[in-house]
Amino acid sequence: MTRSLVVDCDSHVMEPADLWQRYLEPRFRERAIRIVVENGIEKLVIDDQVVLEGVLAALGGVDIERPKLFAGGLRYADGCPPASYDPLERAKLLDAWGVDAGVLFPTVGILPFPTRDHELASAYCRAYNTWQSEFAQALPGRAVPIAALHWGDPDEAARELDRCLRLGFRGAFLPPEPIDGVRPGQGKLDAVFARCAEARIPVCLHVVVRFSGAAVPFAPWLETGSRELGTSPGLLFSFGLGPAGQIIPALASLITDGLFDRLPELRVLCVEAGCGFAAYLMDRLDEKQPFFRELTRPLALRPSDYVRRNVWFVAEPEERTIGAMLELVGEDRILWGSDYPHVDSSLEAPAQIRHSVAALSPERQRAVLGANAAALFGL
């Protein structure tokens, strides 16, 4: 007997702490992303700005009790299981999981860079992509690398994308938020999107970390209460609402700003917000379109038609709406991801997704577990 292809479409690496000091071009090396220790406290420094301190282990930490991660005292390295940075250990993990391949996103490299220096931000991306390429080459056929691009400089982003395509990258990460005050669907990034469409690789809208809270779109709520007194909304609120609060407006921009009319072959993958919101967004936009057709940008199709044609979704391992989304969005549109090794992921993710799809037809099980990923990423 043979089993179906299984592809984890949302996994991460934990970058070596000295990655940017080793791979950044010499003229930028003094401003490398790095971890420093002051008075016994670890601090993550990007362009000489401290962006996180004291709880760096919580950037990973899949195998650590969560209260320990946020209590302080643990180091970045404590939150990095060997499979998160060592290709051979990743292969062992995939074997233990019964997973054939993993789509790889950054961890530190997915953080918004707090710098206005476009050359430096682009150099950060080049350094990460070079290291990621080496990681993937050590796992031939099992690692699907996704390019980190600095979208604030579209010309340089296009050049770096071309380099990554030559290195075998199979997608491009796009932060789900305005870039320099411009919505992603407005047109400024179209040259990069067009290159992705031509290469038939997906643009991956993946949730980003904002240390003011994952649920930044819900900022007024986060400002209520006190963390010290235990009356703030807390991590359940932030991690529960944050991903959808980022992905939904970003995807709505791509649709309503007419991107898919301009680039009908473009593929977009929504990552780490689940799939259950897909049909809701389709219905919501379809229902409102007739009322405002004459007052907004004209669209050639209904919003839901673009979703069915141009958009894919990564389901969470224990989502209960996968079957409904296959029915409403499309049988080839739903994939799955573990989010390994992040704080809100589980080492049981492969078992959980198999359980979640067990009641589906064999064809739909194969589609979600790996066939849809193989088609989307050209595996």
Q: Strand 41-46 relative to strand 49-53: parallel, antiparallel, unpaired?
A: antiparallel
Domains of the chain: total: 1
Residues of the chain with pLDDT under 50: 1
What pTM, to 2 d.p., does this model score?
0.94
DSSP letters, 165-182, are HHTT---EEE-SS-BTTB
Tell which residue, 120, 127, 118, has the closest CA to residue 46: 120
Tell which residue, 274, 218, 264, has the closest CA to residue 241: 218
How confident is the model at residue 1, as a pLDDT? 41
Q: What token pair was written down for 114?
A: 């707090």
DSSP letters, 200-213, are T--EEEE----TT-
203 domain-assigned: yes
How confident is the model at residue 213, as a pLDDT? 52
Residue 374 CA to residue 52 CA, distance in Å, equals 36
360 domain-assigned: yes
Residue 137 domain boundaries: 7-14+81-377
67 domain-assigned: no
Cβ atoms of residues 285 and 256 within 8 Å: yes
Residue 323 CA to residue 326 CA, distance in Å, equals 5
Calculate ∠ Cα 51-55-60, nearest 5°: 95
How confident is the model at residue 215, as a pLDDT? 56
Cβ atoms of residues 242 and 287 within 8 Å: no
160 domain-assigned: yes
Q: Which residues contact 263 (CB under 8 A, 6 or more apart)?
A: 190, 193, 194, 197
How confident is the model at residue 371, as a pLDDT? 97
Q: Strand 41-46 relative to strand 34-38: parallel, antiparallel, unpaired?
A: antiparallel
63 domain-assigned: no
Q: Domain with 183 in it: what CATH number?
A: 3.20.20.140
Cβ atoms of residues 46 and 138 within 8 Å: no
Per DSSP, 53 falls in state: E
321 domain-assigned: yes
Q: What token pair was written down for 265?
A: 């072959």
How confident is the model at residue 231, as a pLDDT? 72
pLDDT (tens digit, 9 = 90+) per residue, 292-306?
988 888 999 999 999
Tell which residue, 341, 186, 337, has the closest CA to residue 269: 337
302 domain-assigned: yes
Using a 10 angstrom Cβ sphere, with 0-12 exposed, 13-18 middle and 19 or more buried, the burial of residue 51 is middle
Residue 286 CA, chain-centre distance (Å), reads 27
98 domain-assigned: yes
How confident is the model at residue 223, as a pLDDT? 74
